[in-house]
Structure 1
Amino acid sequence: MYKANEPLELTLLYHWNSPPPGGYAKQVPATEMRYMPEASILELPAVPGDNYLTNLLRQRHSVRAFKNTEMPLISLAQLLDAACGISGLRQVEGHMFEGRNSPSAGGLYPIEMFVSIQAITGLSAGLYHYEPRGHGLHWVNESVPSDFIEPLLQQDYIANANALFIMTGVFMRSLHKYSTRGYRFILFEAGHQAENICLMAVELGLGRVCLGGFHDTSVNNILGIDGQRHAALYCVAVGTETSS
């Protein structure tokens, strides 16, 4: 247990006390989840069906069956760039700042991106770290997606995914400026990046599923990070969807 006497310790007080649940709660009917169910509704215009982004959003769904097939290297590059690639530079008050493809509070970019891959054309299977500034990969170790099945609560459908993206947070990058509110910003950013991966996967005709349930210590150990100043937050598995 951590004492909450400074921003990182308060962050960890919550972070390490939010493990995966030991069981599953009874499902709540959708009708009981509505906010203000008795209020009158002002109807809005119908959404145009020919909007490109709308079509992508409607095609996005969670996939839990992946084919054992190969993914082109360019697809991996596009997925990583969509998540956190550099979109340009901007000058503010005489200083140059990066722009990236997902928003970040204060432009601090606390999220690091790891990707465990297999059957990617021209790339050895294993775990890599993505470096946006060079749009390239650092080799980490030989861990492939199936090595994460047990840490990800036995979600064995990721075994044939071509890529398992793991977003991690370097807490003090945000906490030093925003104090404990920075932890929320870090989680927001992980969500932004995950959604970008999902939408690019739809564009590429690939299946995808977001995964937030895992044993923190096990995943952090595979990544080689300490789990306190730098910890795993969120995962997305991507591959070719098996036809139903």
Structure 2
Amino acid sequence: MQNIESHATNLVDVVYGNERLQFDDPSENWFEATKIYRTSMAWDAPGVAALLRSETLQKIATHASKRFDDLPLISLPDPLNSNVTLDEVIENRRSIERFQGSSVSLEQLSTVLQKSYGLVERPEGPRRPIPSGGALYPLDLFVIVNKVDSLEKGIYHFDPYRKGLTKLGEYSEQGFMEIMLQEESVQGFSFSVVVSASFWRSRFKYGHRSYRFVFLEAGHVMQNMILLATALNINSRPYGGFIDDELMKMIGGYNGVDDAPIYTLVAGI
């Protein structure tokens, strides 16, 4: 019993980095701020009532995505169908540590993007293939193209409503590898999908709780992408660790507070 207590004490030291616990821990403060209490629901989720009363807000909320209408649109081909069963995909999925440097087809990339977070027309209105808090869809997918047939190397934004890509600029492959902190593992990749969050799209309705919803949604999208990649015989690996400010600077357009990259898929053959 004494050994267990000693081990637990050591773990506390490792987690908090001090012999004494701190009473103003940022991680604990964040988790506390995102809790919902029955007695304070009116201000824990301030936008719920406002959204129900406003048809304008409801209309805006159904068209969640960054738009780059001033840039040429590259239309994506229809997604491919796979004969692989879900059981097979789940069994075969692996986080790959090396890529061979081969290219993937534009049809394969289109399938990963459209079937993971593309538009699905339903009687109740446009939706996506994943659950989203309040159907607000606060995420955007940016694609770092390295070796995709029929696409120039560069940085693209996926437009789910127009089913296409808009090219935003260029990037350095070596710089991207350094940003991902796994240069050997990333080398030779075909494409990467940077999952980015516009936190305000969810926060106006759900307050601080929205951050939980946003991160959960990113997980749903990533799971879709890695399973789709597996079904298409594309190797992949999700990354949660990267140099935030350098990735934001590479893609551009972020302020790091209202919107930021939160999750990254690296894929290839």
TM-score (norm 2): 0.67
Contact 1:85 1:135 in 2 (8 A): yes
Alignment of 1:115-126 (within 5 A): 115-126=143-154
Q: 2:222 aligns with which of 181, 188, 194?
A: 194
Q: Does 1:236 align with 2:265?
A: yes
Report the CA distance between 1:145 and its aligned residue.
4.7
The answer for the alignment partner of 1:73 in structure 2 is 106
Which entry has the higher C-alpha Rg, 1 or 2? 2
Q: 3-state SS of the aligned residue for 2:224?
A: helix
Q: How far does the alpha carbon of each residue in 1:94-114 deviate from its partner, in whole angstroms, 9 at most, with x for none?
A: xxx311112211110100100
Distance 1:132 1:211 in 2: 23
Q: 1:204 aligns with which of 216, 232, 236?
A: 232
Larger fraction in helix: 2
Distance 1:61 1:200 in 2: 12
The answer for the alignment partner of 1:90 in structure 2 is 123
Contact 2:98 2:184 in 1 (8 A): no
RMSD: 2.0
Distance 1:169 1:14 in 2: 17
Q: 3-state SS of the aligned residue for 1:194?
A: helix
Q: How far does the alpha carbon of each residue in 1:180-226 deviate from its partner, in whole angstroms, 9 at most, with x for none?
A: 11001000111111111101111101100000001111111111111
Distance 1:74 1:164 in 2: 15
Distance 1:153 1:203 in 2: 27
The answer for the alignment partner of 1:54 in structure 2 is 87
Distance 2:116 2:195 in 1: 10
TM-score (norm 1): 0.73
Report the CA distance between 1:144 and its aligned residue.
5.4
Distance 1:200 1:145 in 2: 24
Q: Which consecutive unaligned segments of at least 5 residues does structure 2 have?
A: 1-25, 32-83
The answer for the alignment partner of 1:129 in structure 2 is 157
Q: 1:170 aligns with which of 198, 222, 236?
A: 198
Q: 1:141 aligns with which of 163, 169, 185?
A: 169
Report the CA distance between 1:148 and its aligned residue.
1.5
Distance 1:149 1:14 in 2: 31
Report the CA distance between 1:89 and its aligned residue.
3.0
Distance change >3 Å, CA 103–CA 155, structure 1 → 2: farther
Q: 1:227 aligns with which of 237, 248, 256?
A: 256
Distance 1:238 1:126 in 2: 15
Give the AA of the match of 1:132.
P
Q: 1:182 aligns with which of 194, 206, 210?
A: 210
Contact 2:143 2:156 in 1 (8 A): yes
Q: 3-state SS of the aligned residue for 2:195?
A: strand
Distance change >3 Å, CA 126–CA 144, structure 1 → 2: farther
Q: Which 4+ runs in 1 deviate beyond 3 A?
A: none
Q: 3-state SS of the aligned residue for 1:227?
A: coil
Contact 2:191 2:267 in 1 (8 A): yes
Matched residues, number: 190
Give % identity: 29
Contact 1:64 1:209 in 2 (8 A): yes
